[in-house]
Structure formats: C-alpha cells, structure tokens
Chains A and B, each alone.
Chain A
Amino acid sequence: MIPVFLGVAMLTFFVGNAAGNPIDLIRIFLKNPNPAVLDALRHYYHLDRPVWERFLYWLWDLMQGNLGVSLSGRQVADQIGLWTITTLELQVISLVLAVVIGIPVGVYSAEHQYSKGDYAITTVAIFGYSMPTFWLGIMLIIVFSFELGWLPASGASGISYLWGGSLFTDWLLHLILPVAVLTYVTLATIVRLVRANMLETLRQDYILAARASGLSERTVTYRYALRNAITPVVTVVGLSFGAALGGAPATETVFSWPGLGYAFARAAGVLDIPLVQGITIVITIMVLVANLITDLAYAALDPRVRID
C-alpha cells in the first residue's frame, strides 16, 4: 500500500513540475492569476529549494493534511471533504445495487445456461461491458430529462425548485439516472463473472454429491456452489469500485454531479495543480482502502487465505 501511495504521490508531484515548477505551469493557462494565491503557492511548494527537497516538503505537508490552496484561494483540504461524500454516496449506492442484483442474475444465467434468458442476460451484460459509462448517461439524459421531462438532468439537488415536492424525493430523483448508469456498468462485470464461476463450480464432483444426497436444488446452488464461486467476485467488486472511482471524471461531468470526479475534470482543465494533486491523492487513498477491505473480505470467505 505504501509503495503504491508513494508512487502516485511522485507521479502527481513530478508531472506538476513538468514545466519547471507548478507556478510556471499554472501561468501557461491562466494569464492573470491572483498574485496573493501565487505567493501562497510559492511558499507552499518551497520554490527556492531543489526539486527533490520540494517533493519531501510537499509529502510532509500531505501527511499533515495540508494540501495547499487552490487557484480560487481556498484551502484544498476544506473543499475536498464535501466532494468526497457526494462521490461516495453515488458510488456506494451503485456498487451495493450492482452486487445485490448481479449475483442472483449471474446465478440464474448459469443455472439456465444456453436458455433464452441466459442469452438475453449475457447480451445485455456484454453491451454494458463495452459501453462508455458517460455515453449511456448522455443517452438517458436525452430520453428521460429532455424528451420525457421525468427526471432532472444535472446536479445532486434542485436549485430553483424541489423535484417531487420534498427534500427526500428531490434527492432520490437526482440519484436515479447516475445510479442507474453506474449500476448497469458494474452489474455487467459482476454478472459475467458470477456466471462463469458458477458454471465451473456446478460441474464439480461435490455438487453432484450434494445433489445425490437429496438436497434441494436451491440449497445446492446457494449453499454449496455460490459459496465457492463467489470468492473471485469479491476481488472484482473491489477492482470495479476502484475503476468506477477512477472513471468518475466522465460520469460525474455528464450529470454535473458535485463530486470529486467533476471537480477533478474542471481543475485539470485549467491546471489548478494543487487541487488536482489533492483530488488524485484522496482518490488513491480511497482505492487503496477499498483494496484492503477486499483482501480482508477475501480472507474471511476463503479459509485458505491468511493475512500475514
């Protein structure tokens, strides 16, 4: 974990120095930056030092939660908190839905291999697997927001009026489209994997033995087969969480979702280097924590795996 963190920190830091130092880089895009902000950044990046020392100073500040000031003059750390919550809200809801729907659908597909239902499910899944998430978002916005007018097209809450009349319905209606898009794409991966693993597990001898001993098909499928087919799925759930977080710039931009991804896309667009570095570091930490949870879950499910 620590090498990965250091690796990302180095990449984000040194690319920020690609033009010599971050201030010069910011100046390429921004012709009239706020001089007070530039002074603060000059101090924050220790520009009078050689580049390796600057990296160590920056890392030291990072450890203490000091992410510097963004070009707007506000502390980066203060801004990131709220974005992180909005992003997690979207990602966690979608991930839970994808797992809850994906596992039974994958099991069904494997149990009825080569049936019409199986073909339909695999076709829908492979499309989800091949689709840019954000593009599906655009299509849904065109249909459900602009053509039908049923759902809001952007944001996480109504600005001029509340959708559905109450705070709760407003929140819910804003969530539907982004959650649907993210769930579908993650769902596709989970369904494919559950199906493939179940097919392999259902061919094992101990499944035959379980059936022969007169257990119900339901018990055989869910107690015996799924339990063994699910461990690789845990890994993929962890990886898809990381992938979805990494893909957040595009999905959140389409829905103007006020999270880390949308903020990143805007900040990187104008090369707001401190903000970009801060968001990258926060997302990296979130991905690493997700991986850690995945490993722990894996160990809990598979007694052969031990955490050292």
Chain B
Amino acid sequence: MSDKTPRRRAASQWAVAWRRFRRNKSALIGTSIVAFFLIVAILSQWIAPYPPRSYEALYEGSAGTPPSWQHPFGVESSGIDVFSEVIHGTRNDLYVGLTAAILTMIIGIVVGALGGYFKGIISDIVLGLTQIFFVIPALLLILLFARIFLALVFKGFGLTLIVLILSFFGWSGTAFIVRGETLRVREMDFVQAARSLGAGSSRLLFRHIVPNILSPVIVITTLNIAGFILTEVVVSFLGFGDANTTTWGLLLNEGFSYIRTDWWVALFPGLAVVFSVLGFNLMGDGLSDALNPRLRE
C-alpha cells in the first residue's frame, strides 16, 4: 500500500502463520471440510438433482421413501428430495454464515477500535453498548425480531433480513476483542512514533492499529461463521425464518414433524450442520494456534 518495509514484514508474519497452520492436522481437516461445503454451495444449482422446494418426487411415486440409490437422503412425505434440499440449503446457510460474519467483523472493528482508541465519554458509551449486547439473551430477541420483521417486511428479502438481524445482535464479541487489542497496541512504540510524526487519529487507527490487530479478528470471524450457522438453524427450525427459502433449519423443522416415521428428513440436514460447523470451528482453532504469538518459537 504505502512504503515497502512494513509490507514485507507483514508478509513474513503471515508466512510464519501459514507454515504453522499447514502443520496442524485438525486445522487442515477443518479447512478441507469448509472447502468441500463451499464447492457444494457454489455448484449447488448444477449438482442438485431437483430444483429447490420441488415436489417432483411425488409424481414419481417415491414420496416418503427412505434413502435409496435414486434418493440418497430419502424423500419427505410431501415429495421433496432431501438430498437436493441439503445441497440448496448449503448455499443458503453458508450465505447467512459468511455474510453475517463479515458484517459483524466490520461492525466489531469500527465499534471496538473507536472504544479502544478514544478515551472518555465515547469509550464509556461504546463499552456500555458492547456489554449490553454481550449479555442480552440474543436468541430470544433474534426470534422476536425475525418474526415481526418478516411479517412486516416484504417477502424475498427473507434471508438477507435474517443476516441483518443476526449481525445486529452478534457483533459484541468481536468488538470486545478489538477494543482490548486496540488498548494494547495504541501504547506501543510504533504508534507513538507515527503519532509524533503528525499522523491524525483516523490514519493511526486504520493504517497502524487495525492492521496489527487482525489476527484475533480473523480467528473470531471464522468461529462466528460457525456460530451464525447454528443460530440460523435454530431460527428456521422453530419456524421463524423465511419459509420459502430452503435452509438446513427449515428441513429440520419438516423433519421434526415427520419424526415418528421419516427419520431421514431430520438426520441428513443435521449432519450437514454438524460437519460444516465442525469445519469452521477446527479451522478457527487452527488459525488461533497459528496466529498466537505466545506459542511462536
């Protein structure tokens, strides 16, 4: 970006982390799982045998049948092919997880950096807000907001609305970490040096401080993806999501209503949730180990 020296140092720092990450077996397993789900999500339209929310299997006479060669994950009583739906759900759930995690990362960095950098009233207000959002029973409010706003706001916006609600209630953890790191870094010599050279607040914050606190932010954002997928699954499972969009939670909702007879409708979407979340968690743990300066020898 600006001069060459800090850029080269940054590159070597990431290179060290990458070397440590590559040697970590569980991190690699996690990354492979994540890569697998990403590929499924991107190719979903082409690899899913049936379009989303399609009842075609009903007309083939295979409604409510257990897993078979033709329908590897079975068919719902309504004639929906579970295998196709899990694939379409992958796309939508990863969309929710990734976008909500990126949004909360942005909110978290801005709020946390402001709270950690400035002193006095701004810091107090920001800290207070962060604490409130950290403690509140978020899921209850997410459910309530989803119910009310999905009813009031037009359809088709469904999934994006869920993303916005999840981000609104989900940024506090990131903000806490960013605030703590900003407090630590702002007293460091290189920041003092930049300040004495006449750098203004915004330059100090976004050129010098934020780039140096990215490692923990990357870790928490990766773990957040897992967390948001889990929350979205709960929201849709309870029937508070967008009923017209296939998500794993919606499938689990349908699976739960056929629980006595059609176990496959609840089993396979759940496994997709477990493994995708596991992938992001393993990746996050691996990143945390690789980027942790205390473990660096």
Chain A interface residues toward B at CB < 8 A: 3-4, 7-8, 11-12, 15, 18-19, 25, 28-29, 126-127, 129-132, 134-135, 138-139, 141-142, 146, 242, 245-247, 249-250, 253-254, 264-265, 268-269, 271, 276, 279-280, 283-284, 287-288, 291
Within 8 A of A (CB), among B150-169: 151-152
Residues of B within 8 Å of A245, CB to CB, are 137
Chain B interface residues toward A at CB < 8 A: 128, 131-133, 135-141, 143-145, 147-149, 151-152, 226, 230, 233-234, 237-240, 252, 255-256, 259-260, 263, 266-267, 270, 273-274, 277-278, 281-282
Q: Are A264 and B140 in contact (CB under 8 A)?
A: yes
- Given A19-B152, A132-B230, A146-B260, the answer on whether A3 and B278 have CB atoms closer than 8 Å is no
Q: Are B270 and A246 in contact (CB under 8 A)?
A: no
Q: Are B278 and A130 in contact (CB under 8 A)?
A: yes
Q: Are A127 and B148 in contact (CB under 8 A)?
A: no
Residues of A within 8 Å of B128, CB to CB, are 3
What are 11 sample pairs from A and B whose C-beta atoms fall under 8 A apart? Answer: A4-B135, A15-B144, A29-B151, A127-B274, A130-B278, A246-B140, A249-B238, A254-B256, A268-B143, A268-B147, A287-B136
Residues of A within 8 Å of B135, CB to CB, are 4, 242, 287-288, 291
B28 to nearest A CB, angstroms? 15
Residues of A within 8 Å of B136, CB to CB, are 4, 7-8, 11, 284, 287
Q: Are B267 and A139 in contact (CB under 8 A)?
A: yes
Q: CB within 8 A of A18: which of B133, B138, B149, B277?
A: B149
Complexed CA–CA distance, A250 and B241 (Å): 13
B277 to nearest A CB, angstroms? 4
Which residue on chain B has the smallest CB distance to residue A246? B137
Q: Are B238 and A265 in contact (CB under 8 A)?
A: yes
Which residue on chain B has the smallest CB distance to residue A141? B259
Q: Are B259 and A146 in contact (CB under 8 A)?
A: yes
Of B138, B152, B263, B282, most buried by chain A (CB within 10 Å of CB) is B263
Residues of B within 8 Å of A264, CB to CB, are 140, 143
Complexed CA–CA distance, A250 and B143 (Å): 11
B128 to nearest A CB, angstroms? 6
Complexed CA–CA distance, A164 and B267 (Å): 29
Residues of B within 8 Å of A7, CB to CB, are 132-133, 136
Apart from A138-B266, A271-B148, A271-B151, list 7 A-B contacts with CB within 8 A. Answer: A28-B151, A28-B152, A130-B277, A135-B274, A242-B135, A250-B234, A250-B238
Residues of A within 8 Å of B256, CB to CB, are 138, 254
Complexed CA–CA distance, A127 and B279 (Å): 10
A91 to nearest B CB, angstroms? 13
- Given A268-B143, A287-B137, the answer on whether A15 and B238 have CB atoms closer than 8 Å is no
A298 to nearest B CB, angstroms? 15
Q: Are B144 and A132 in contact (CB under 8 A)?
A: no
Complexed CA–CA distance, A23 and B37 (Å): 44
Q: Are A126 and B137 in contact (CB under 8 A)?
A: no
Q: Are B237 and A134 in contact (CB under 8 A)?
A: yes
B155 to nearest A CB, angstroms? 14
Which residue on chain B has the smallest CB distance to residue A18? B148
Complexed CA–CA distance, A202 and B135 (Å): 32
Complexed CA–CA distance, A189 and B33 (Å): 22
Which residue on chain B has the smallest CB distance to residue A247? B139
Q: Are A138 and B259 in contact (CB under 8 A)?
A: yes
Q: Are B132 and A3 in contact (CB under 8 A)?
A: yes
Q: Are A15 and B266 in contact (CB under 8 A)?
A: no
A139 to nearest B CB, angstroms? 7
Q: CB within 8 A of A135: which of B138, B148, B252?
A: B252
Residues of B within 8 Å of A130, CB to CB, are 226, 274, 277-278, 281
Residues of B within 8 Å of A269, CB to CB, are 147, 238-240
Complexed CA–CA distance, A269 and B255 (Å): 19
Complexed CA–CA distance, A164 and B281 (Å): 41
B228 to nearest A CB, angstroms? 12
Residues of A within 8 Å of B141, CB to CB, are 8, 11-12, 15, 280
Which residue on chain B has the smallest CB distance to residue A271? B147
B286 to nearest A CB, angstroms? 12
Complexed CA–CA distance, A254 and B135 (Å): 25
Residues of A within 8 Å of B151, CB to CB, are 28-29, 271
Residues of B within 8 Å of A254, CB to CB, are 256
- Given A3-B131, A242-B135, A287-B135, the answer on whether A135 and B144 have CB atoms closer than 8 Å is no
- Given A126-B281, A242-B135, A268-B240, the answer on whether A247 and B234 have CB atoms closer than 8 Å is yes
Residues of A within 8 Å of B132, CB to CB, are 3-4, 7-8
Residues of A within 8 Å of B278, CB to CB, are 126-127, 130
Q: Are B234 and A134 in contact (CB under 8 A)?
A: yes
Q: Are B139 and A132 in contact (CB under 8 A)?
A: no
Residues of B within 8 Å of A146, CB to CB, are 259-260, 263
Residues of B within 8 Å of A246, CB to CB, are 137-140
Complexed CA–CA distance, A254 and B233 (Å): 14
